[in-house]
Amino acid sequence: MLKDAEAQFTITEAKIKYASGDYTVLSSGGFVYCALSGEKIPLNQLRYWNADLQEAYATAAISLKRYQEACDL
């Protein structure tokens, strides 16, 4: 039974409130989606996000690309 609960947790998308340097989990889940690539990002690997846009990013390169787009650089 525990395995079923663990499996459900890892396949459910978390709802996150992103802040500067931190985030709050609003709804339990195991991952979020990258705003640009659509890739699933496990919460234990979530390192890049934009608090103003409330978006998560899979990699530093994707985060930089989005920043440049948002700033028209």
Span 42-62, pLDDT tens digits? 999 999 999 999 999 999 999
CB neighbour list of residue 21: distance below 8 Å, 6 or more residues apart = none
Q: What angle do CA 19, 30, 39 make, to 5 degrees?
A: 80
pLDDT of residue 72: 82
Confidence of residue 1 (pLDDT cuts 50, 70, 90): low
Residue 64 in this model has a pLDDT that exceeds 90: yes
Tell me if the pTM is above 0.85: no
Residue listed under structure tokens 């459910």: 12
Task: Kindly tell me the sign of the dihedral angle through the C-alpha atoms of 38, 42, 48, 51.
Answer: positive
Span 3-24, pLDDT tens digits? 654 555 568 999 999 999 999 9
Phi/psi class of residue 3: alpha, beta or left (left: φ > 0; alpha: ψ in -120 to 50)? alpha
